[in-house]
Each structure stands twice: as C-alpha cells, then as structure tokens.
Amino acid sequence: MNDRSIPAPTPVSLALVTGGSRGLGREMALQLAARGIDIILTYRSQAAAAAEVVAAIRGQGRRAVALPLAVGQGASLDAFVPALREALHEHWRREHVDALVNNGGNGVHASIATTTEAQFAQMLAVHLTGPFFLTQRLLPLLADGGRILNVSSGLTRFSLPGYAAYAAAKGGVEVLTRYLAVELGSRGITVNTLAPGAIATDFGGGAVRDNPTLAAMIAGQTALGRVGQAPDIGGAVAWLLAPESRWINGQRIEASGGIHL
C-alpha cells in the first residue's frame, strides 16, 4: 500500500458523541466545543439534560444538536441513521461527521456468581454489540481521514470484584478498536481506545463521587493521589481528536492518574 493512496487526516470540526447528556460524555462535548468543534450528541432518555448541554455549547459559539439513541437496541440504531443525515443537512449542509466518540453506556455491579444472563446480555448490547453496529452503520457518514474513539475502562487492565460482565464487554471493545484501525486504515481513519480509571461522576450510582471512604481508598492506590474528575477525561478526548495525535492509531490509552501501577 502506497501512503499517497491514503487520505490525509481531516481536521475535526464536527464530532458525534454518544451518551453526551451527562457525566463523561457531557464533559467531552463541552471540552470539544471549547476547542472550536461543533457537536452532535446523543441521549437515551434524558432529553432535558441533553438540551442543557446543547444550550451550553451554543453559548460557546458552536453549533450543536441532540438526537435520541438507545445504543443497545437495533431498532434505535436503524432510526438514528436517517435522523443523523437529516441533522447534518439541516444544521451543517454536509454529509459527514469528522469524528465518532463511542461513549454511551451504563454499568452493572454483580459478582460472577450472581450475574444474570439478562445483565450480561445488556452489558454486551450496550458496550460491544451496540458500538460495533453503530460504527458499521455510520461508516458511510464518517469522513475519510476522520477519527473514531472508543471509550473503555481501566477495569480491563485491573480487576475489582463485581465488574466482570462490564469489563468483559469493554475488553471486547478494545479488540474491536484494533480491528477497526486495520480495516479503516485505507480510508485514513484512525481508531483508538480511551480507558478512564475511577472518575467522580454519577456513573454506578455516583459511588466514587459520593462515597468519601471509597474515594479515599482509590486515591491511595493512585500515583497522583486523587480520584479522576470529568474534565480529566474530557481533556484527554479533545487531545486524542486533535491534529497532534494523528499518528496514534489502534492504541489503548489509559487515563487513570496511574492507578494500580
């Protein structure tokens, strides 16, 4: 393969962030907008929260829309694609997004002995099957030279009891990242994984954010001596979509402050 046949990197001016109405996705969207990037964000049920994020982004002088998407449901994926096409035409007069951030998801805390098939199936649907087929459906809408960033978890590297189903699904996402990087390389599209550590958000019922004992324990196991905050991850996403990171491809990058080293 001759490098002259591969499209040059596309500067990211429009990014699609799934699960952008709250938590890490909200911070990702806001920090990307602060760097001059327009945003399409998705939400599953929190339309009001998504509207607040859109308003905040527009307040920064950027364009933004929010679209409903239940990433783990095939019917929702089918409905999302034409809605995205319509939004692209109506608000941007274009046919492609420059970057896709597969962030949306939820968690389950249960031991292997007590995890149900329904819980395991949900983790796979939301964190692996959904991102796989959403990315597949969006390939015609992703610009050549663009970016895909899949959000995983530090729990694929270190193990904590109760997170086996969630971590197993995220491990699949990390393998998917490498295969996407290989198969999309001819289009100049880079694909990477960002793996956050423990972050003080509402994820998992807000355990890290709201439990001082748990937060202190995590901080004591982290080289930088604290739990992560949403801006730590939003900034990492913005950097991974910046022109300076164009040669990073097929990699897992952990943003955890150095936990369990």
pTM above 0.85, yes or no: yes
Reported as a single tens digit per residue, the pLDDT across 36-78 is 999 999 999 999 999 999 999 999 999 999 999 999 999 999 9
Q: What would the mean pLDDT of 152-181 be, rounded to a whole number?
A: 94
Among candidates 32, 49, 24, which has minimal Cα distance to 40?
Answer: 32
SS3 category, 101: strand
Q: Binning pLDDT at 50, 70 and 90, where does residue 114 land? A: very high
Of the chain, the percentage scoring pLDDT greater than 70 comes to: 93
**Token pair for 251:** 């990699």
Reported as a single tens digit per residue, the pLDDT across 2-20 is 556 899 998 999 999 999 9
Domain ranges of the chain: 9-255
pLDDT of amino acid 220: 84
Q: What would the mean pLDDT of 172-198 be, rounded to a whole number?
A: 97
β-strand partners of 39: 15, 64
Residues with catalytic function = 166
SS3 category, 15: strand
Q: Binning pLDDT at 50, 70 and 90, where does residue 166 land? A: very high
Q: Is residue 194 a contact partner of residue 256, using CB atoms and an 8 Å limit?
A: no
For residue 64, the one-letter residue type is A
β-strand partners of 190: 147
**Token pair for 249:** 């491809």
Q: What would the mean pLDDT of 196-206 be, rounded to a whole number?
A: 70
The residue behind tokens 């959000």 is 151
Q: Is residue 184 a contact partner of residue 229, using CB atoms and an 8 Å limit?
A: no
Strand order in the sheet with 38-43: 64-68, 38-43, 14-17, 97-102, 142-151, 190-196, 252-255
Fold that domain 9-255 belongs to in CATH: Rossmann fold (3.40.50)
